[in-house]
Amino acid sequence: MNIFFSRSRPLVAAAAALLLAACGQDEAPQQGAGGDSQPPAKSVEVAELARQDIGLDKAYPSKLMSEEEVTLVARVTGFLEERKFEPGDLVEQGDSLYAIEPDLYQSTVEQREADLNSAQAELSRAERDANRFQQLAAQNSVSRQQVDQALADARVARASVAQAQAALNSAQIDLNYADVTAPVSGMISLSQINVGNLVSPGTELATITPLDPLEVRFQLPQRDAFELRRQLQDQHITDIQATLEVPALMGQDNGQLSGNLDFLGSRVDAGTSTVQAQATFPNPDGAVLPGQFVRVKIEGLTRYDVLAVPELALTQGLMGPQVFVLDDDNIARARPVNLGELAGPWQVLLDGVEAGERVVVGDPASLKPGTPIDPKPFDGDAEALMDQFDEQQAEQAPGGAPAQDDSAAGEGAAGESAAGEGAAGAAAAEGASEAEAPQDAASATQSAQQAPMTSPGADQEAKEAEGEGNE
């Protein structure tokens, strides 16, 4: 309401000013400390904290290696006569890969077989002579010395047979080594020696790398290893599922492999405070190759009996990370917290809150301490809550700045009203006399101060009106 003062009625103007001031004092207790009226309660999701078991979503770095990789070496001396593969082929265990002068070693085997046959024939003759001399000795037809000599010859012949058999076995082994076969299945590398070169025992020929399955060794932090051992009390280690993520192939169908844990160490490394683990992953297509840097994710890893809130419930305060806790009057109070591990959409809290307290989980970024809250129950689905928040942000993005809430709109309307009152005060000051001008300026200033929150333009107009009155 705009009040205009008359030069001939100073007492009436003074009384009206006092009445306006008294009205402002009556309305002051209804306003907030900062001049704002009490905002309406904000309806958001609120969760009551309770201890629970939270599944972790953690991955561990590792360099992929094939534990069964084999380097082929020559076992015999000879010229490399044949290579029976192409570099990069997938070979099967037992496949013939190289030939090192097999004819030479085959002839040696045949010679040793002949030696064995000769020794066996000699043994047969010696045994017959020994039997005959024993019969003659029973008739006193030969001397005891002749009998002993026949028995000794039979034993020597028997030893010659064993020696010839050993030589034949050795020749057969060399013949087998002349044919180099694959000890494991996998992908074979480039040949280190060309056909026609002379090789000797120990000469490296090629490398075979098994690709299916892949065995990955990695290090678990000791706390994760202890929790995993607790979990293994109720299930077998091969029941623990694992996922292999290859950063170089992310976004492709073969960027992930699924497998299972098959080993967990029984000691903690004193240097790294970690426990060694191993997981096996089927790799039938051979898309993932050893030497790549990968991440191994263990599914089912759990933190037991912890307090956790959805990640959306966290904000950054002056004391660090904080959450908003409701008091008995449903007023939001900021509470600093110590953060633990991040478990998917959940954040584990180590300190700062207690079980049974109520925490705001629905978009606390728009709150400030002291905001009244109309609590809505939280269904416990943190992932759905995060998805809902992301959808709201996406809807606001195309329209430019996000829409203001009711309190902000009220502040803008109050600013416009204050601006109008300031302009009316300035007009009244210009039409009044020098004696009445101070009263007009005081009325304009008081009207501007009674508004909940004025805009910068209204404040400037009020100051101009006050200056004109002082003149």
DSSP line for 135-202: HHHHTT-S-HHHHHHHHHHHHHHHHHHHHHHHHHHHHHHHHHHHEEE-SS-EEE---SS-TT-EE-TT
Q: Quick check: 352 pLDDT over 50? A: yes
Distance CA 445, CA 422 (A): 7
Highest mean pLDDT among 97-111, 203-217, 312-326, 352-366: 97-111
- Answer for the pair 312, 45: CB distance below 8 angstroms, yes or no: no
Q: How confident is the model at residue 23 (pLDDT cuts 50, 70, 90)?
A: very low
Residue-wise over 177-211: b if at least 16 C-beta within 10 A, else e? bbebbbeebbbbbebebeeeeebeeebebbbbbbb
Higher pLDDT, 379 or 22: 379
Q: Quick check: 57 pLDDT over 50? A: yes
Q: How confident is the model at residue 38 (pLDDT cuts 50, 70, 90)?
A: low
Q: Quick check: 322 pLDDT over 90? A: yes
Q: What is the DSSP letter of 331?
A: B
* Mean pLDDT, range 196-211, rounded to an integer: 94
Higher pLDDT, 266 or 167: 167
End-to-end CA distance of the chain: 25
* Mean pLDDT, range 8-24, rounded to an integer: 35
Q: Quick check: 212 pLDDT over 60? A: yes
Q: From the CA atom positions of the chain, what is the Rg in Å?
A: 47
Q: How far is CA 390 from the centre of its chain?
A: 22
Q: Quick check: 44 pLDDT over 70? A: yes
> Which pLDDT does position 301 carry in this prediction?
79
Q: What is the pTM assigned to this prediction?
A: 0.53
Q: How confident is the model at residue 390 (pLDDT cuts 50, 70, 90)?
A: confident
**What residues pair up with 112 in beta bridges, in sequence order?**
none
Q: How confident is the model at residue 325 (pLDDT cuts 50, 70, 90)?
A: very high
Q: Quick check: 131 pLDDT over 90? A: yes
Q: Quick check: 215 pLDDT over 80? A: yes
Q: Quick check: 28 pLDDT over 50? A: no
Structure confidence by residue, pLDDT tens digits, 268-314: 999 999 999 999 888 887 778 888 888 998 887 788 889 999 988 99
Q: Quick check: 259 pLDDT over 50? A: yes
* Mean pLDDT, range 219-234, rounded to an integer: 86
Higher pLDDT, 383 or 372: 372
Q: Quick check: 408 pLDDT over 80? A: no
Structure confidence by residue, pLDDT tens digits, 94-123: 999 999 999 999 999 999 999 999 999 999
Lowest mean pLDDT among 117-121, 148-152, 342-346: 342-346
> Which pLDDT does position 36 carry in this prediction?
52
> Which pLDDT does position 127 carry in this prediction?
94
Structure confidence by residue, pLDDT tens digits, 409-463: 334 433 343 333 443 333 333 433 333 433 443 343 333 333 333 334 444 444 4
Kindly state the percentage of the chain with pLDDT values over 70: 75
Q: How confident is the model at residue 162 (pLDDT cuts 50, 70, 90)?
A: very high
